[in-house]
């Protein structure tokens, strides 16, 4: 004892050096625990605790140990078999681990020698103390891990589905298709894949309707299957995968599995497919089931498991030939239901705001009936965002008064941080009141809910094929949804559900929600079906077939978009569009953009238009945010604002890394959306590259001078990978406790609150890694991105107009024209019309809602000459959605005449081309016939050339192409010339015209119709003059069909009778033709007659025949050999110029 005390004077456990000496003995580089590791730090913390504990025990312990040894002697006499247990109890005997100490002893010997000279080394006692502490530490860790394992196994066993484990495996072994039906909480999603995995099935795919579920399930199941740090269980979603060759179980989205089938029709990579949540009846899921149904006969070894809530199970079983159904009871606590229909005086009319009184009564009732100490939160289901905000305001007032509630909204347009708050915990005595859309019905599961209030309403998207418009309408929910909502109250204990409708209402509800396939536009589905070659969409055996008219609408639409040809087969562009996981219109933009040198901006715009807007609605009324956003806005249109925002963000990312978070917060931007954009953008780029629509630029980056750079990047990546791993490891962080005033704070909203949260957040930011930033850096090279951003920032006005044209052609026929009386209306009352829907308004988030003047023709100008102007503009828009009003959003403005002539599917004229009707609804009136002819002629030529180059760019390798030969890539020179021509046409067409919509009656009596006109013979007689262009009488409209989009002289009021009289003498500037010609003949000749110097010698006769001339715009570059100069002239001017040399 005294020796020990001596030592402790020279030995200091707190000292770093002393500890380091012991580290040398126990925690060397190859030891179980290594110096510097997290565990090593934990050990020393443990050591301190352990020392305090033993010291305390030593002080009081001597007595008990004496007693014990005394008792032991007594035991020995009575025991029958001697177990040979030590006489004196020592906690060390309870540890089954030892640390092999031979080399430690050697060191000890040495250090004993040393000790005579240096008194500071660890003595025998210190080493023993340290070793014992280490043994206890190891034992402690073992116990901790084992108890985790035991807890996990216990939880698994307690799930209702556990009883059916063997049954499920048996059924799957013996049947190709099995339906597992179980209610919320039965554990099917996490357990069934594991059961199959542990019973020897490999290569299991489990689909989910939602991306977020793929990630969380993969995380949970890998944890439960003790593979948290491996990749046996993985996920794959649009931009992210954790899949490796070792992955045996993969969670993926339905859409992604469909894409995989597109690549490999037999799905040879999987042995088992589990389709989860089939009862939700998403479009992709219904289609997937159909595809799998026809796949089964080809893959008799494949096992298919459908998992569903206990809804309409027969439907699924019958669809798969009477597949066996295993029904598992859920684990719900009893829930009391109260029907509290809203009294008529509180129902209000449709246009009025929702009356909050019925909702407030529920809150009051809860406060009266239940003690605040009895925990349990409230979940309130409303139909939409506006309703949520109304009720939220009222509840907040009540909450501020009572101090017993924290009111939190929940819907998908909130920032993710705001959404995340619903999972935080309310302080004692306070309840959360979560006001949600149906997002909380299935997608988001919140524990601790005891009370549910169900309004019985839902807003659902439907598609109106007549108006070509999406519609968000309020409906009564189905009984299935109603039960689902109720069930949310009984997840963690007995609950209560208040239904704000009567029991008879409930009985009148539809049994199930309307499946998506019956509600939405089927364009993308039909396109995908075509590309997967599953046969005629009309005869495909869906579980619940959509109306034939929906499919027909989609086929027609795709034909209009040029994705399908007249036989309903995929065109080259359609084939490509089917590969792109985006709307057809956005896919078209990408393809068109790649033809011009506009890839970078188009990639960004296409990505931006495919994700939710990064601009948070809640920040719109915050003056600070608006000011900060100002420089990002473009009055060219919303896509340009998005483009500016993205480019600015990339710049910030490059300069300040994770400082971009703050930058976004200042501007009321949801950074997550920008991350999604950058990921999507990259995916688009890769797709374009694989389809050779984009030159591979990797060659430019592999100089030897880059080697150091690459090495640097590699080490950086390693570091980032480690950060990501560490982050994944600690991710199950604890929920924080909400503050009472939480509900009062908007998202990034006004002044002082913002400051406060910002400073709180800043503290947190410094500690935690910005995992999004880490992932961003892993996935993207910020320098490259910044180059791309630079390429699309500061577009010249020429590039800008070309980009607008690309967007417009992509978005066509989604065009809107301003109402003629807009100039006299207030900003907020501007009205627009589309072809199929009159009286649409611009969504308040659009730049044109705040700045509508840029769309108007200045007043003096228009009034001067009956609306004649060259400034008419149209809006091309991405979405038309009717909520309380029909709104267009994501709009871009384009010059009307030029855009229409370049993109419209149908352009009809009268005889002198002064009256042009586009797509049967917009009429352009030009006074100058000569000018009209010139403009039309240029447009036809430009379009012909554009089409030719586009087809060439798309490879022309498809079965539809002549001879199946891959045509030559369009030359840079041709493309540049086309760009030049288009830009000139867009920017410098100086022609005044009127723009108006036709009335219904006018559009009905538009065409003269087919006529046995003598004039037709004259046109065929003229055929020899125009070898390239075949004009045919149009069998429906009448007049002459000059190209697939242009019909001449078919309009009813045309001066048809006099068309022969319109012949005037005309000399062709290119050849020596001099003849009396009609406008049409002139145009045809112009389109086919090329000046000699522009003939390309390498061009074969075939393409020369089929292609239209690239030459004539209004002006073009003419190289005069005699002056040896490049001149930009119109055809007539060239002719004049030539004559000048002759004379």
Partner 1 sequence: MDLNEGSALGVFRCKLCELSSPYTFYGQKPPNTRAIVLLEECYGMKDPFSPDREKFLVLGSKCSLCSKTVCVGPDCSLFYTKRFCLPCVRDNIHQFPEQIQAELVKKKTIQKTSS
> What gap in Å lies between CA 968 and CA 956, rounded to an integer?
9
Q: Phi-psi region for residue 886, left (φ > 0), alpha (ψ -120 to 50) or beta?
A: beta
In angstroms, the CA 790 to CA 772 distance is 23
Count CB atoms within 10 A of the CB of residue 772: 15
Categorise residue 833: left if φ over 0, alpha if ψ from -120 to 50, beta otherwise: beta
Q: What are phi and psi of 879, to 5 degrees?
A: -130, 145
Q: Quick one: 22 or 573, whose CB is closer to partner 1?
A: 22
Kindly state the smallest distance separating residue 236's Cβ from partner 1, in Å: 17
Residue 562 zone, left/alpha/beta (φ > 0; ψ -120 to 50; rest):
left
Q: How far is the CB of 76 from partner 1 (least distance, A)?
A: 8
Residue 104 or 1068 with smaller CB distance to partner 1: 104
Q: Segment near partner 1 (CB under 8 A), from 44-52, 141-149, 694-702, 927-935?
A: 141-149
* Binding status of residue 1058 toward partner 1 by CB under 8 A: no
- Quick note: the x/- pattern for partner 1 over 176-215, rule CB under 8 A, is ----------------------------------------
Q: Determine if 68 is a binding residue for partner 1 (CB under 8 A).
A: yes
Report whether 869 contacts 851 (CB < 8 A): no
Cα separations (Å) of 878 from 583, 646, 684? 10, 18, 18
How far apart CA 259 and CA 236 sit, in angstroms, is 12
Q: Does 322 bind partner 1 (CB under 8 A)?
A: no
Residue 67 to residue 70: CA distance in whole angstroms: 5
List strands edge to edge, sheet with 907-909: 993-997, 922-926, 915-918, 907-909, 1046-1048, 1040-1041, 1032-1033
What stretches of 266-363 adopt beta strand conformation (E)?
Answer: 272-275, 303-308, 325-328, 335-339
Binding residue for partner 1 (CB under 8 A) from 35, 54, 216, 228? Answer: 228
Peptide bond between residue 813 and the one before it cis (omega within 30 degrees of 0): yes
Region near partner 1 per CB under 8 A, out of 100-108, 162-170, 656-664, 1028-1036: 100-108
Q: Three-state DSSP class for 732?
A: coil
CB of 32: closest distance to partner 1 in angstroms? 5
Please report whether residue 1068 would count as binding partner 1 according to CB under 8 A.
Answer: no
**Complex with partner 1: residue 71 or 1099, whichever CB lies closer:** 71
Q: Which long-range contacts (CB under 8 A, 24 or more apart) does 864-868 make?
A: 865/927, 865/992, 866/994, 867/820, 867/994, 867/995, 867/996, 868/925, 868/927, 868/992, 868/993, 868/994
3-state secondary structure 663-686: HHHHCCECHHHHHHHHHHHHHHHH
Kindly state whether residue 771 participates in binding partner 1, applying the rule CB under 8 A: no
Q: Give per-residue burial for 430-453: e unless 16+ CB within 10 Å, then b.
A: bbbbbbbbbebbbebebebbbbbb
Confirm or reject binding of residue 51 to partner 1 (CB under 8 A): no
Please state, in angstroms and rounded to a whole number, the distance separating the CA atoms of residues 998 and 986. 24
Q: Is 729 in the site for partner 1 (CB under 8 A)?
A: yes
Which position among 15, 45, 125, 147 is part of the footprint of partner 1 (CB under 8 A)? 147
The answer to whether 86 contacts partner 1 (rule: CB under 8 A) is: yes
C-beta closer to partner 1: residue 72 or 519: 72
Alpha carbons 142 and 96: distance in angstroms, whole number: 10
Identified binder of partner 1 from the candidate list 20, 85, 508, 864, rule CB under 8 A:
85
Closest to partner 1 by CB, 229 or 1058: 229
CB of 115 to partner 1, least distance (A): 23
Which of these ranges, 11-19, 147-155, 348-356, 651-659, lies near partner 1 under the rule CB under 8 A?
A: 147-155
Residue 100 binding partner 1, by CB under 8 A:
yes
The least distance separating partner 1 from the CB of residue 658, rounded to whole angstroms, comes to 24
User: Any contact of residue 82 with partner 1 (CB under 8 A)?
Assistant: yes
Contacting partner 1 within 237-266 (CB under 8 A): 244, 246
Residue 74 beta carbon to partner 1: minimum distance, rounded to whole angstroms = 8
Q: Based on CB atoms, which residue is closest to partner 1, 32 or 1058?
A: 32
Beta partners for 453? Answer: 380, 498
Q: What is each CA distance from 96 to 136, 140, 142, 144, 1047, in whole angstroms?
A: 10, 11, 10, 15, 93
Nearest residue to 1040 (alpha-carbon basis) of 895, 856, 913:
913
Q: Which of 2, 17, 60, 96 binds partner 1 (CB under 8 A)?
A: 96
Stretch that binds partner 1, among 139-147, 250-258, 415-423, 512-520 (CB under 8 A): 139-147
The residue range among 71-79, 298-306, 450-458, 1019-1027 that interacts with partner 1, by the rule CB under 8 A, is 71-79
The single residue among 59, 81, 708, 1001 that binds partner 1, judged by CB under 8 A, is: 81
Instruction: Confirm or reject binding of residue 32 to partner 1 (CB under 8 A).
Output: yes
- Stretch of residues binding partner 1 (CB under 8 A), selected from 64-72, 171-179, 709-717, 969-977: 64-72
Cα(264)–Cα(287) distance, integer angstroms = 16
Residue 226 in contact with partner 1, rule: CB under 8 A: yes
Segment lying near partner 1 (by CB under 8 A), choices 94-102, 854-862, 910-918, 1108-1116: 94-102
99 binds partner 1 (CB under 8 A): yes
Give the one residue of 54, 199, 216, 231 binding partner 1; rule: CB under 8 A: 231
| Shortest Cβ 724–partner 1 spacing (Å) | 12
Binding of partner 1 by 71 (CB under 8 A): yes
Q: Which of 145, 347, 412, 718 binds partner 1 (CB under 8 A)?
A: 145
Question: Do 560 and 905 form a contact (C-beta atoms < 8 A)?
Answer: yes
Q: Least distance to partner 1 from the beta carbon of 100, Å?
A: 5
Q: Which span (223-231, 611-619, 742-750, 875-883) binds partner 1, by CB under 8 A?
A: 223-231
Compute the half-sphere exposure of residue 736: CA atoms within 13 Å on the CB side of its CA: 10
- Please identify which residue in 9, 67, 733, 1101 interacts with partner 1, judged by CB under 8 A: 67
Residue 309, CB-side half-sphere exposure with 13 Å CA sphere: 17
Beta bridge partners of 1032: 1041
Q: How far is the CB of 769 from partner 1 (least distance, A)?
A: 16
Determine the interface stretch with partner 1 among 24-32, 478-486, 583-591, 884-892 (rule: CB under 8 A): 24-32
Closest CA to 439 of 414, 417, 462: 414
What residues does 454 pair with on adjacent strands? 381, 499
83 binds partner 1 (CB under 8 A): yes
CA distances from 1097 to 102, 1104, 1134 (A): 90, 10, 22
Shortest Cβ 768–partner 1 spacing (Å) = 18
Nearer to partner 1, 228 or 845 (CB): 228
The residue ranges that bind partner 1 (CB under 8 A) are 30-32, 37, 39, 64, 67-68, 71-72, 75-76, 78-79, 81-86, 88-89, 93-101, 103-104, 138, 142-143, 145-150, 153, 226-232, 244, 246, 725, 729
């Amino acid at each position: 004892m005294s020796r020990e005390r001596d030592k402790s004077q020279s030995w200091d456990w707190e000292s770093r050096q002393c500890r380091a000496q012991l580290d040398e003995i126990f925690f060397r580089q190859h030891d179980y625990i290594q110096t510097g590791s997290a565990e090593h730090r934990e050990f020393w913390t443990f050591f301190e605790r352990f020392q305090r504990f033993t010291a305390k025990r030593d002080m009081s312990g001597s007595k008990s140990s004496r007693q014990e040894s005394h008792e032991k002697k007594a035991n020995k006499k009575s025991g029958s078999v001697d177990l040979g247990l030590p006489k004196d109890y020592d906690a060390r005997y309870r540890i089954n681990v030892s640390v092999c100490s031979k080399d430690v002893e050697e060191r000890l010997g040495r250090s004993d020698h040393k000790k005579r000279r240096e008194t500071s080394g660890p003595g025998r006692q210190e080493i023993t103390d340290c070793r014992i502490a280490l043994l206890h530490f190891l034992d402690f860790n073992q116990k901790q891990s084992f108890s985790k394992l035991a807890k996990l196994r216990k939880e698994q066993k307690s799930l209702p589905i556990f009883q059916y484990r063997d049954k499920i495996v048996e059924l799957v072994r013996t049947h190709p298709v099995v339906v597992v039906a179980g209610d919320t909480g039965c554990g099917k999603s996490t357990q069934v894949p594991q059961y199959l995995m542990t019973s020897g099935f490999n290569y299991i795919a489990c689909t989910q309707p939602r991306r977020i579920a793929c990630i969380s399930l993969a995380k949970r199941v890998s944890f439960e299957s003790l593979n948290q740090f491996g990749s046996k269980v993985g996920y794959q979603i649009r931009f992210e995968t954790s899949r490796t060759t070792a992955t045996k179980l993969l969670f993926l989205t339905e859409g992604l599995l469909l894409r995989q089938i597109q690549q490999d029709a037999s799905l040879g990579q999987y042995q088992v497919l589990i389709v989860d949540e089939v009862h939700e009846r998403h479009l992709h899921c219904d289609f997937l089931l159909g595809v799998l149904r026809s796949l089964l006969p080809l893959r008799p070894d494949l096992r298919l498991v459908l998992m569903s809530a206990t809804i309409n199970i027969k439907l699924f079983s019958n669809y798969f030939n009477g597949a066996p159904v295993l029904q598992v009871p859920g684990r719900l606590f009893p829930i009391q239901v109260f029907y509290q229909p809203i009294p008529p005086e509180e129902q209000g009319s449709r246009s009025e705001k929702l009356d909050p009184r019925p909702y407030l009564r529920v809150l009051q009732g809860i406060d009266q009936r239940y003690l605040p100490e009895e925990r349990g939160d409230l979940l309130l289901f409303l139909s939409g965002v506006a309703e949520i905000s109304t009720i939220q305001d009222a509840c907040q007032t009540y909450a501020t008064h009572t101090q017993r509630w924290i009111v939190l909204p929940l819907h998908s347009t909130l920032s993710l941080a705001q959404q995340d708050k619903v999972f935080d915990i309310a302080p004692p005595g306070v309840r959360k009141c979560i006001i949600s859309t149906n997002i909380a019905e299935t997608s988001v599961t919140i524990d601790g809910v005891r009370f549910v209030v169900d309004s019985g309403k839902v807003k659902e998207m439907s598609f109106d094929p007549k108006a070509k418009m999406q519609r968000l309408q309020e409906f009564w929910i189905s009984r299935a949804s109603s039960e689902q909502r109720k069930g949310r109250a009984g997840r963690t204990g007995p609950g209560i559900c208040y239904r704000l409708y009567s029991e008879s209402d409930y009985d009148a509800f539809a049994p199930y929600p309307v499946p998506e396939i019956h509600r939405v536009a089927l364009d993308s589905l039909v396109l995908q079906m075509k590309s997967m070659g599953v046969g005629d969409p009309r005869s495909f055996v869906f579980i619940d077939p959509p109306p034939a008219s929906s499919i027909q609408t989609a086929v027609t639409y795709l034909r209009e978009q040029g994705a399908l040809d007249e036989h309903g087969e995929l065109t080259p562009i359609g084939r490509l569009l089917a590969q792109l996981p985006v709307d057809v219109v956005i896919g078209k933009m990408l393809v068109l953009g790649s033809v011009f040198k506009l890839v970078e901006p188009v990639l960004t715009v296409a990505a931006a238009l495919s994700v939710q807007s990064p601009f948070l609605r809640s920040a719109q009324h915050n003056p600070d945010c608006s000011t900060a956003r100002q420089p990002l806005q473009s009055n060219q249109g919303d896509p340009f604002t998005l483009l500016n925002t993205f480019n600015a963000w990339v710049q910030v990312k490059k300069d300040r890394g994770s400082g971009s978070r703050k930058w976004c917060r200042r501007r009321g931007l949801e950074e997550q959306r920008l991350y999604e954009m950058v990921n999507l953008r990259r995916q688009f780029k890769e797709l374009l590259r694989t389809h050779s629509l984009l030159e591979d630029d990797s060659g430019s980056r592999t100089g030897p001078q880059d080697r150091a750079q690459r090495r640097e990047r590699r080490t950086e990546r390693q570091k980032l990978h480690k950060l990501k791993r560490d982050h994944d490891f600690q991710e199950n962080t604890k929920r924080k406790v909400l503050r009472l005033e939480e509900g009062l704070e908007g998202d990034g909203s006004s002044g002082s609150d913002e400051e406060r949260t910002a400073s709180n957040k800043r503290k947190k930011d410094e500690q935690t890694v910005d995992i999004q930033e880490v992932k961003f850096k892993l996935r993207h090279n910020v320098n490259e991105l910044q180059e791309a951003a630079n390429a699309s920032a500061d577009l010249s006005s020429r590039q800008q107009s070309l980009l607008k044209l690309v967007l417009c052609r992509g978005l066509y026929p989604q065009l809107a024209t301003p109402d003629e009386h807009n100039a006299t209306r207030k900003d907020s009352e501007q009205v627009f019309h589309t072809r199929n829907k009159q009286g649409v308004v611009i969504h308040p988030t659009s730049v044109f809602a705040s700045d509508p003047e840029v769309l108007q023709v200045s007043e003096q100008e228009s009034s001067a000459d009956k609306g004649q102007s060259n400034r008419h503009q149209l809006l091309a828009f991405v979405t038309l959605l009717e909520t309380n009003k029909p709104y267009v959003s994501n709009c871009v403005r384009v010059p009307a005449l030029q855009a229409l002539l370049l993109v419209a599917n149908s352009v009809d004229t009268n005889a002198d081309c002064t009256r042009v009707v586009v797509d049967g609804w917009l009429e352009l009136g030009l006074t100058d016939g000569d000018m009209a002819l010139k403009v039309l002629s240029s447009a036809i030529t430009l379009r012909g050339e554009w089409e030719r180059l586009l087809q060439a760019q798309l490879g022309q390798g498809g079965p539809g192409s002549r001879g199946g030969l891959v045509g030559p890539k369009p030359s840079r020179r041709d493309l540049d010339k086309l760009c030049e021509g288009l830009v000139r046409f867009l920017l410098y067409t100086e022609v005044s015209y009127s723009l108006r919509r036709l009335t219904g009656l006018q559009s009905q009596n538009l065409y003269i119709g087919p006529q046995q006109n003598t004039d037709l013979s004259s046109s065929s007689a003229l055929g020899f003059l125009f070898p390239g262009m075949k004009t045919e009488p149009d069998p429906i409209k009448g007049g002459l069909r000059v190209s697939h989009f242009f019909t001449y002289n078919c309009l009813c009021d045309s001066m048809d009778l006099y068309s022969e009289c319109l012949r005037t003498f005309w000399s062709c500037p290119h050849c020596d033709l001099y003849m009396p010609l009609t406008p049409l003949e002139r145009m045809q000749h112009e389109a086919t007659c090329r000046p000699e110097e522009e003939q390309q010698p390498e061009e074969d006769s075939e393409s020369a025949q089929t292609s239209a001339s690239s030459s004539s715009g209004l002006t073009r570059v003419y190289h005069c050999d005699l002056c040896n100069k490049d001149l930009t002239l119109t055809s007539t001017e060239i002719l004049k110029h030539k004559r000048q040399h002759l004379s």
